[in-house]
Amino acid sequence: MKIWQTDFYRRPLKNEKGQTMWELIICDPTHSFIYEAKCPQSQANTDWLVSQLQLAAGGNLPDLIQVFRPQSLSLVTSAGEKLGIKVEGTRRTAALKEELITRASKYTNEDPVKLEKPPPQALPEDLWGEQWRFGTLKAGDVIEFVSDRPIPIRDTPESLYPINLGIASSVAVPGVVIYGGRRSMQLSRWLQEAKPVSLNYIPTDASKSGGLILEAGLVDRWVFITFEDTEFANAAQKYEDRKTASKGLHFLLVQPDDSEMTHTGFWLLKDE
C-alpha cells in the first residue's frame, strides 16, 4: 500500500504582496519521498490541493493519505474524494512531524505540530465497565497474545510491534484491563470509533488521587478512570514508569470478566 502523510496549513510566511502563505508538505513514512508547494491563502482550496496532489503523484496516486491536523483534514478529505484516495485522520504521522519540525526551525520558534486540545470530557455513563486493573504483557508475547485469540475488535499497527520499536522481548509492556460485563462489546465499539492513541496517568493530588486520561482521535481527550486511593495512585505511577521502560508502548484490553476466556477489544497504544 502506498501511503502519504500530508499537512496543508498556513505558515508564518508572507509573499511579496504581504499575503499569508499556506504550505503543502507531503512525505511517505520512510522519508524517501518529499513534496512541497506554497500558495497564498486566497488560493488555499480543494481545487489547488487536487492539482498539487496530481503533480506530486506523477500518475501514481497513493492508496491512503494520513493527516494529523484537524484544520487540514476537511480540505484533504475533499481533495481525496475527487481523486478517489482514502484519507485517514491519525496522530501517527511520525515522518511528517519530523519534517515539519526540521523546516519550522528555519522560520519560527513555534512548535509546528503542537495542537490545541480541549479539556478532557467525561466518558458516557452507559459505557462504564464493571471493574478494571493494571496489567502487563512481556514484549515478546504481545503479538502472540493477539494472534492466538479470537478478539473481534483490535488495533495493532505493525509500527507499534515491540520488535519494530526495538523493545527487548523480556521488557514488561504495561496496560489497562477493563472488565466490561454486558457492556464489553458496546465499550469496545465506542473505542473503535474514538480511535485510542494513549492512556496516561494524570495525578490530581500528590498523595493519593488521580485518573487515567484517554487520548483519542486527533485531539479528543476523555476521563477514562478516576480514583482517590493511595494504592491506585502508586500502581498508576508504576504503570507510567513501565511505559518509560517500554519506550511508551502500552495496551488497552476490554473483556467481559476476569475469567480470561473471552476478550472483546485490544489496542496497542503509544504516546504521540
Query: Which candidate, 113, 134, 124, places its Cα nearest to that of 222?
Result: 124
Is there a contact between 75 and 43 (Cβ–Cβ < 8 Å)? no
Pair 174, 89 in one domain? no
Q: Please report whether residue 99 resides in a domain.
A: yes
Give one DSSP letter per residue of 40-57, joined into a string. EGGG-SHHHHHHHHHHHH
172 & 231 share domain: yes
Residue span of the structural domain in which 65 resides: 3-104
pTM: 0.88
Q: Beta partners for 251?
A: 175, 268
Residues 139 and 69 in one domain: no
Alpha-carbon span 127 to 184, nearest angstrom? 8
Residue reference for cell 506523477: 58
Interatomic CA distance for residues 12 and 21, integer angstroms:
7
Q: What is the Cα–Cα distance from 272 to 91, expressed in whole angstroms?
A: 7
What are the DSSP calls for 197-227, one per residue?
A: EEEEEEESSSSSEEEEEEEETTTEEEEEEEE
Chunked mean pLDDT (size 10), the chain, 272 residues? 95 84 95 95 95 96 97 96 97 94 78 88 81 94 90 94 96 95 92 96 77 95 88 91 97 90 93 84
- Cα distance between residue 113 and residue 93, in whole Å: 10
Domain count, the chain: 2
In a shared domain, residues 154 and 265 = yes
Residue 109 domain-assigned (yes or no): no
Residue 246 and residue 190 share a domain: yes
The pLDDT of residue 260: 77
Residue showing cell 488560493: 43
pLDDT of residue 208: 66
